[in-house]
Structure 1
Amino acid sequence: MDLFWEYARAFLCGGVLCLIGQLLIDKTSLTPAKILVTYVVSGVVLGGLGIYEHLVDFAGAGATVPLTGFGYLLAKGVRKAVEEQGVMGALTGGITAAAGGITAAIFFGYLVALLFKPKPKS
């Protein structure tokens, strides 16, 4: 039963983040690109302030998988690298922490581009 509630919390948190994004698309004049950037920057700011970690503890993958989770990962990587390397860590920590996800996105994007032929929108 505990596993059920873990999944429920992840689903609800991820769903709320998606709902907010959909409302921003539907009710504002913001472009999807601006909303995506807002989500990443929000994750960085909340992660840097230590607030987003509480959400990650509560919702698990429901908080780490969306774009706000990517921002949180960048902030967490920078914080850790600054503790270990000093000021230089501010420049390298975020990318080092997110390297696995970035590499996977590039690899699978390339793989999909090889397997499927793009078609123009009509």
Structure 2
Amino acid sequence: MQAYLMAFVIGGLICVLGQLLMDLTPLTPAHVLVLFVVLGGVLSGLGWYQPLIDIGGAGATVPLPGFGHSLVSGTIEEINKVGFWGIFSGGFKATATGVTAAVFFGLVIAIVFNPKG
């Protein structure tokens, strides 16, 4: 039960931060999206995002900073396995399933529903 509560709290705080950035600054949703992915990657590279995942579980991995974390941690893992060339393949290997699912379901939704003009 505590894991669910912490996922809710951590994920909720990330969402609150994003909403505050959109409401109180001139940043657009696209700016916040990029900011969160980059922030997740930077925090992951510094080793600060994994402790947040250990505390918040899915509340930290599902929001946008979790994608940045996946890119960086996948790249670091692949560099440790194959060396320099892991820079180019690690992020793709770590996030391929999520990106494929997003493209597939986006296509299905686009085919099923008519856009409002």
TM-aligned CA deviation for residue 79 of structure 1: 0.5
Q: In structure 1, what is the equivalent of residue 80 of structure 2? A: 83
Mapped to 1, the partners of 2:113 and 2:34 lie a distance apart of: 28
User: Could you say what secondary structure the match of 1:43 adopts?
Assistant: helix
**Gap runs ≥5 in structure 2:** none
TM-aligned CA deviation for residue 115 of structure 1: 0.6
TM-aligned CA deviation for residue 113 of structure 1: 0.6
TM-aligned CA deviation for residue 91 of structure 1: 1.1
| Pairing 1:30-109 to 2, within 5 Å after superposition | 30-109=27-106
Q: TM-score, normalised by structure 1?
A: 0.94
Letter in 1 for 2:44: G
Matched-pair identity in %: 50
**Gap runs ≥5 in structure 1:** none
TM-aligned CA deviation for residue 67 of structure 1: 0.3
Aligned residues between the structures: 117
TM-aligned CA deviation for residue 101 of structure 1: 0.1
Letter in 2 for 1:66: P
Q: TM-score, normalised by structure 2?
A: 0.98
RMSD: 0.5
